[in-house]
Amino acid sequence: ELKVEQNPLFLSMQEGKNYTIYCNYSTTSDRLYWYRQDPGKSLESLFVLLSNGAVKQEGRLMASLDTKARLSTLHITAAVHDLSATYFCALATGGFKTIFGAGTRLFVKA
Amino acid sequence: EAGVVQSPRYKIIEKKQPVAFWCNPISGHNTLYWYLQNLGQGPELLIRYENEEAVDDSQLPKDRFSAERLKGVDSTLKIQPAELGDSAVYLCASSRAGGDTEAFFGQGTRLTVV
């Protein structure tokens, strides 16, 4: 069974701190997406990771992909309140299915 | 460039009533998706279209759900009759081609069945 598991599912952190969200998946794929969703809003694409070892950074967020370990990480550096949202990883399989994780609810406290 | 447009944003209906959602994808995007998102969970694919062809509808509950994309552009998703458990957010997304490209999501329709 294809599974995409995120942890933690809920994260409360102080401004200025660093933290990492993990996304594990159960089948081979070399295409993984990270999305952000604000309450009541749509999903916004953050990163598309296309191959093993891919690393992408945008502002305080950095995403990486290790296809051998079937693991992607989203690292938050010096968190600010505006980063509070739910973050989803999603795996694209060979059959053009995209499977989403359950999401990580991030709350950054001022 | 306009994003994916969905309507209505909110819908409240009584159980056993029909309901329909509409989606207009980004211009030039051949692939259209309908997702279901329950509270506190990630989106789950209901159906994927390549142009006007439904290429993956394995997760669509066909006894009460139907979808169409007649001219390969706009799409509608219908539920008839609605059940209490159908209360969720229905998201439409589009991408340029196939399933291996980045998908752009609409704001969703929040359905409440009472």
Amino acid at B36: L
Name the pLDDT band for A29 (thresholds 50, 70, 90).
Answer: confident
Whether residue A43 and residue B45 make contact (CB cut-off 8 A), yes or no, is no
Give the rounded percent of residues in chain A with a pLDDT score beyond 90. 73
Confidence at residue B77, expressed as pLDDT on a 0 to 100 scale: 98
Check if B8 contacts A (Cβ < 8 Å).
no
pLDDT mean values, one per 10 residues, chain B (114 residues): 91 98 95 93 93 89 94 95 97 81 90 98
The chain B residue lying nearest A101, using CA atoms, is B42
Confidence at residue A96, expressed as pLDDT on a 0 to 100 scale: 67
Using one digit for the tens of pLDDT, what is the confidence trace for A69-88?
A: 999 999 999 999 999 999 99
Residue among B45, B107, B108 minimizing CB distance to A98: B45
The torsion of the CA quartet B60, B61, B66, B71, rounded to 10 degrees, works out to: 10
Chain centre to alpha carbon of residue B52: 14
Whether residue A92 and residue B100 make contact (CB cut-off 8 A), yes or no, is yes
Check if A56 contacts B (Cβ < 8 Å).
no
Alpha carbon distance B92, B77 (integer Å): 10
A93-108 average pLDDT score: 87
Q: Does residue A92 carry a pLDDT above 90?
A: no
Check if A3 contacts B (Cβ < 8 Å).
no
A2-13 average pLDDT score: 93
Q: How far is A50 from chain B (nearest CA, A)?
A: 10
Confidence at residue A110, expressed as pLDDT on a 0 to 100 scale: 86
3 state SS for chain B: CCCCEEECCEEEECCCCCEEEEEECCCCCCEEEEEEECCCCCCEEEEEEECCEEEECCCCCCCCEEEECCCCCCEEEEECCCCHHHCEEEEEEEECCCCCCCCEECCCEEEEEC
Confidence at residue B58, expressed as pLDDT on a 0 to 100 scale: 86
A55-65 average pLDDT score: 96
Contacts of B103 in chain A (CB under 8 A): 33, 45, 98
Name the pLDDT band for A102 (thresholds 50, 70, 90).
Answer: very high
